[in-house]
Amino acid sequence: MTAPLRAYRTFHPGHVGVVLLMVAALAAGIGMRDPAPPDEPRFVLMARDMVENGSWLFPHRGTELYSHKPPLFMWLQASAFRVVHDWRIAFLLPSLLAALGTLWLTWDLARRLWNRRIAMYAVAALFATLQFGLQAKRGQIDMVLMALTTLALWALARHLLVRRERWLAVLGGLAAGIGTVTKGVGFLPLLVFVPWRALPAPLRGSQPVAASWVAIGFVVGASVWLAPMLWAALGSHNAAIHAYVDDLLFRQTGARYATPWHHQQPPWYFLQVIATLWLPGVLLTPWLLPAWWRRVRRRDPRQWLLLGWGVLVLLFFTLSPGKREVYILPALPAFCLAAAPLLFGLLRQPGPRRALAGYVFLLALALVVAGVGGLADVNGIASELAQQRAIDASDRTRLFAWLLGMGATVGTVAVVFACHRPGIATVLSTAIVLTGYGVGLTPALDASSSGRRLMQAVGTHLGADAQLGLVAWSEQLMLQADRPVRDFGFERPVDAQWNDAGRWLEDDPSHRWLLVPASALRPCLDRRLTVAIGRSNRRDWHLVPGTAWSGHWPTADRQRHALPRPHDPALPRTAKVASP
């Protein structure tokens, strides 16, 4: 086994400032915006339903069960809300804490495998990677998944490389099990045993590996949600519950990996993700790859384990036709850890120094050009963007002013530090970008992206007594509504939704309205009575009063629209709404 080096035990005072800078940059902007697509409104909608209706085992999106993801991430958001009582903070808090936890785990593992100086290089490399910081500011599952996979890697790497303690094996399996019921691929840290077994026997050490305890921990971790959910499902006669279990455990896991029905990308897709979202570290690969190869050939167990596991994760996701950029995020800490012991030497060489300095200068230039171009509306690009996304003039000006200010600040850092201290310049420029993104860019887009402006217009038009229903709806609109909202399913065909919505309108046409995207309007409506209420997320929305419903379909469309009502009578739910 490899023992950690004893060198560099003291903690440099300057590291405290760097850590505080990282924390401030990652936390900047929390509480300043509402959930926005993709994914954020959906998760908050379900977390809010858990708080209000108590459906913790079986999450609901409106009236429908949501079987695409296990509910653990929504548990975290709902629990955060119970502590802070503010959805604007609560929906981002799990990602923020997960990001900070991932940084600490990366630092601590590098400290134990090498020393404290190398640990700071590992943390700085992870923080400076664009994908890490941007994902830390999103209310999505992936940062929490990353924290759990890093915790599992931290425990298993310590168990294999430092000391064979049983509690580390249990913790590694437990974290992987909880990660699996957070998102199905949470088991990936267990692949670390593949490169470990490939090492020559003398390098693996003489003490036995507690693999059985890893398995026990994994089963316990996965049972946190799986066991009570299956117990409740087995005792239920509700067909919708049984369909939920079948879809989640089979279709959304193995079937989705082997034969995905969306996000299909070519095999090289992750190469372009790494080339862009893993900046600036990817610029050092011409120097890192030869150095890694030399250490792998020498069978350095630390590099062998970290790089072998990281490559296996990339290969696992590459083999599936379905790909998204966030899929490979869990592998990022392993590559930063493997790079950390090389960075001190690389940053003394002219080539890597020029690469990082050039990155900082180009980043400043890109931000300045985007800001000036937007403020000057060069070629009408800014106006077209504002029209597509329904951004008003003041928000548009604020957006591009922030880009210009961020570019000027990064440019100042580049001039002062980039040539002599490119590593410091890289960390500072990342902190500037993340801070500006959190307190400037996303708040400027918030009113349009979150659907808040549209739903404020809807509430003003309807008045206090009207009832509102949604057809072909977006989650952020239900989340931003100022009154209880009736929906007719989310994944059901739009025509089936209209079939039920028409009956609902007929019961009280003078007080009931539907909010419908323009693409979902049907011939059975009197278009003269509908109201074009606004635009949100690149879609035009219309309010349809009950009096506009004709009560029948045109003869040519009757068979296509008159679908049976598939609602499960055991789930009569009306979404409760309170603006986040």
pLDDT tens digits for range 221-251: 999 999 999 999 999 999 999 999 998 988 8
Mark whether 444 and 463 lie in a shared domain. Answer: no
On whether residue 41 sits in a domain, the answer given is no
State the pLDDT at residue 300: 95
Q: Are 155 and 168 in contact (CB under 8 A)?
A: yes
State the pLDDT at residue 1: 47
CA nearest to 92, candidates 69, 76, 104, 71: 76
Mark whether 445 and 547 lie in a shared domain. Answer: no
State the pLDDT at residue 296: 94
Residue range(s) defining the domain that contains residue 286 = 13-30+92-346
DSSP state of 38: T
Mark whether 335 and 367 lie in a shared domain. Answer: no
Mark whether 334 and 380 lie in a shared domain. Answer: no
Mark whether 292 and 372 lie in a shared domain. Answer: no
State the pLDDT at residue 386: 83
**Strand duo 485-487 + 64-65: pairing:** unpaired
On whether residue 440 sits in a domain, the answer given is yes
Instruction: Say which amino acid occupies 268.
Output: W
Number of domains in the chain: 3
State the pLDDT at residue 2: 46
On whether residue 8 sits in a domain, the answer given is no
Count of CB atoms situated within 10 Å of the CB of 296: 15
Q: What is the largest CA-CA distance in the chain?
A: 83
Mark whether 189 and 305 lie in a shared domain. Answer: yes
Mark whether 106 and 248 lie in a shared domain. Answer: yes
Mark whether 264 and 148 lie in a shared domain. Answer: yes
Question: Which domain-ending residue is among 346, 381, 410?
Answer: 346
Question: Which domain-ending residue is among 300, 319, 346?
Answer: 346
pLDDT digits (tens, 9 = 90+) for 154-201: 999 999 999 999 999 999 999 999 999 999 999 999 999 999 999 998
State the pLDDT at residue 570: 36
State the pLDDT at residue 11: 53
On whether residue 81 sits in a domain, the answer given is no
Which residues of the chain fall short of a pLDDT of 50? 1-10, 554-572, 574-580
On whether residue 166 sits in a domain, the answer given is yes
Mark whether 356 and 472 lie in a shared domain. Answer: no
pLDDT digits (tens, 9 = 90+) for 289-318: 999 999 999 999 999 999 999 999 999 999
pLDDT digits (tens, 9 = 90+) for 66-118: 999 999 999 999 999 999 999 999 999 999 999 999 999 999 999 999 999 99
Q: Quick one: tokens of 331? A: 């592998």
On whether residue 255 sits in a domain, the answer given is yes
Mark whether 409 and 499 lie in a shared domain. Answer: no
Question: Which domain-ending residue is among 449, 466, 496?
Answer: 449
State the pLDDT at residue 564: 40
**345 Cβ neighbours under 8 A, 6+ residues apart:** none
pTM of the predicted model as reported, rounded to 2 decimal places: 0.92
State the pLDDT at residue 3: 44
Mark whether 240 and 97 lie in a shared domain. Answer: yes
On whether residue 577 sits in a domain, the answer given is no
On whether residue 410 sits in a domain, the answer given is yes
Q: What is the 3-state secondary structure (H, E, C) of 323-336?
A: CCHHHHHHHHHHHH
What residues pair up with 542 in beta bridges, in sequence order? Answer: 516, 532
State the pLDDT at residue 12: 66
Mark whether 236 and 383 lie in a shared domain. Answer: no
